[in-house]
């Protein structure tokens, strides 16, 4: 994707953010109440293939289908029961994907303006933790929601 196309998409997303904002009420939802999950990554190469397979098999155990989004995708609006952002960057693409997602439960690495996420996994230090560590915490947390 060219640099100008990326810039155009970012500008368009900023302008359309309010119009496409999801109106679905969100909150903590147990795994038994979920059928689909969308996982947002900074770039498609964020997680190595073995980690993607591990995440997909975790959700498959509970009958939850997984799809992947990245900041490079043109279509960031999604409809699922669970939205997880593993992004460690602050950018309009993550904001747009999270705010416009029609998920009933949203999880992120840091809270966005407007309290978008229902659950936030924060880093212990000044440097962002690897996405693999964040997903381990999220998996542990999801199992304990009743």
Encode pLDDT of 31-40 as tens digits: 999 999 999 9
Q: Residue 102 pLDDT more than 70?
A: yes
**Structure-token pair, residue 79:** 């409809």
108 burial class (0-12, 13-18, 19+ CB within 10 angstroms)? buried
Domain boundaries along the sequence of the chain: 3-143
Length of the chain in residues, anyone? 146
Q: Which residue has the tokens 């969308």?
A: 38
Encode pLDDT of 16-67 as tens digits: 877 888 888 888 999 999 999 999 987 666 566 778 888 999 999 999 999 9
CATH code reported for the domain at 3-143: 3.40.50
- State the pTM of this model: 0.85
């Amino acid at each position: 994707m060219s640099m100008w196309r990326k810039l155009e998409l970012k500008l368009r997303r900023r302008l359309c953010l309010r119009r496409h904002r999801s109106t679905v009420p969100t909150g903590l939802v147990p795994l038994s109440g979920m059928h689909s999950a969308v996982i947002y990554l900074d770039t498609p190469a964020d997680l190595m293939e073995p980690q993607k397979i591990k995440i997909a098999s975790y959700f498959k155990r509970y009958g939850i289908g997984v799809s992947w989004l990245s900041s490079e995708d043109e279509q960031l609006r999604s409809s699922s029961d669970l939205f997880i952002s593993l992004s460690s960057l602050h950018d309009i693409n993550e904001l747009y994907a999270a705010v416009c997602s029609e998920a009933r439960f949203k999880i992120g690495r840091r809270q966005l303006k407007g309290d978008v996420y229902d659950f936030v996994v924060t880093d212990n230090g000044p440097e962002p933790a690897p996405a693999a560590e964040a997903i381990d915490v999220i998996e542990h947390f999801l199992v304990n929601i009743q």
